[in-house]
Structure 1
Amino acid sequence: MALVQNLADFRATNVELVAHIAFANAKYANNSYKITRNLREFICESAFLRIFIAWETFVENCFVDYLLNEPSILNNRPAKWVNPISKDHAQEIIIGNQRFMDWSNPETIRKISQIYFHQGYVFNTSLSAIHNDLMDLKTIRNSAAHMSSTTASKLDGLSQRILNNTACVNYTAYKLLFSVDPRSSIINQTVLERYLQLLDVAAEQIANG
């Protein structure tokens, strides 16, 4: 089943990348890091970027598979208003007259889901529930991918909001992602760990249909 494989691939990718992050943040018995800060930041931010890409890939694959009438994990199929004959044809339908489809933007995905599926199917509800978190993740992604004065300013603003601390200045994606998240009910859960949890729940909802 395609949706089973999509979810399995997404989770396997995240497990591998979290292992890279754990390697980068490993410490000696005296609590000092085993590798330099620059290398830690490079490995962890690179892994985060790949996690974000894995999410985009998962959503895209599920969207295409549902358009091709693949059943969900729970054997559900959405009512849909188009009938592509192949994955390539489905991609062409999704893109339409745009240059590309932005799978990082939950609002865009929700809008097209409501065009092609009855009431947007599971994409509309699942992405709506974590809309703000996905937009925040995109802000962090942009900062990790290409730091500029604009992305730096947005990241500082996001850090201040998430951490409830106006002293968050000159933050990096690494510093924010590995800060303890005050929004979490889990003791010492980092910002990244909270986001990974949210993405996993949403991915399961989408795959279950």
Structure 2
Amino acid sequence: MGLQQNLDNFRNSVAECQQFITYAHNRYTSGGYKVQASLRKFISESSFLKLFIAWEKFLEESFIDYLMNEQSILGNRPAKFANPIDREHAQKLLIGTQKYVDWSNPEITRRLSIIYFHQGYVFNSELGAIQTDLFDLKTIRNSAAHLSSTTSSQLDALSTRLLRTPCHGYTAYDLLFSLDPLNAGQTILNKYITVLDITAEKIANG
């Protein structure tokens, strides 16, 4: 597909998700929301899930492109330890005896990168740099996708850490749209979007 196309696709998906979220938060001139609270939460959390899936797809497509000897946006290619005959073969190499590759887990992606590329190429270093953020995003994803007592307690713990105040009964929506105490005027969601965008560009640039 090509690294530039992967990056463009990811950014287009993020922009679309942001448009949905903006729609959900439109207000009347009086200040009230045009969309009721339950629908606003549904649209926003669904958009976040779509964004998370776009990130996973970007990682998978980029990993396979490099494995297929595609060059990066800047014209770089990794030294690699496998030569798949086509993209389907590359996917089979990555899956091995498992049912699928969990691209949401940065540790798995980093281990695969070390197996297939010299020193893990950009995946090992760049994902390692934001590994905590990626696991935090997965915690939020799990809470938005299937709320349970376990995901609820994990989300409360994460919210307490990120917002620096005790949080109880938080939802993915509550956390994502809270202001980041470390970045004035920026929501937690926007903080993570920035982190993912910067990392995606580094991976695509090689």
Could you state the TM-score of these two structures normalised by the residue count of structure 1?
A: 0.97
Aligned equivalent of 1:20: 20
CA shift for structure 1 position 183: 2.3
Sequence identity percentage: 58
Residues of 2 paired with 1:182 and 1:111: CA distance?
Answer: 33
1:87-109 CA distance string (max 9 Å, x none) = 10000000111221100000110
Q: Runs ≥4 in structure 1, deviation > 4 angstroms?
A: none
What letter corresponds to residue 70 of structure 2 in structure 1?
A: E
The amino acid that maps onto 2:85 is I
Once the two structures are superposed, residues 73-122 of structure 1 have per-residue CA deviations (whole angstroms, 9 ceiling, x without a partner) of 00000000000011100000001112211000001100110000000000
The corresponding residue for 1:98 is 98
Over residues 148-207 of structure 1, what are the superposed CA-to-partner deviations in whole Å (9 max), with x where a residue is unaligned?
0100010011000000011x11100001000001122xx310000000000000000000
Partners of 2:59 and 2:175 lie apart in 1 by: 25
The total of aligned residue pairs comes to: 206
Q: Which residue of 2 aligns with 1:6?
A: 6
The CA RMSD measured in Å over matched residues stands at 0.7
Counterpart of 1:189 (choices 186, 191, 199) is: 186
C-alpha distance in structure 2 between counterparts of 1:29 and 1:119, whole Å: 55
- Looking at structure 1, the residues matched to 2 and 116 of structure 2 have their Cα atoms a distance apart, in angstroms, of 19
Render the CA deviation track for 1:126-169: whole Å, top value 9, x for unaligned. Answer: 10111000000000000000000100010011000000011x11
Q: Aligned partner of 2:9: which letter?
A: D
Pairwise mapping of residues 148-167 of structure 1 onto structure 2 (< 5 A)?
A: 148-166=148-166
Deviating more after overlay: 91-100 vs 140-149 = 91-100
Once residues 180 and 145 of structure 1 are traced to their aligned partners in structure 2, the CA distance between those partners, rounded to angstroms, is 22
The answer for unaligned runs of 5 or more in structure 2 is none
What secondary structure, in the 3-state scheme, does the structure 2 residue paired with 1:62 have? helix
SS in 1 for 2:168: coil
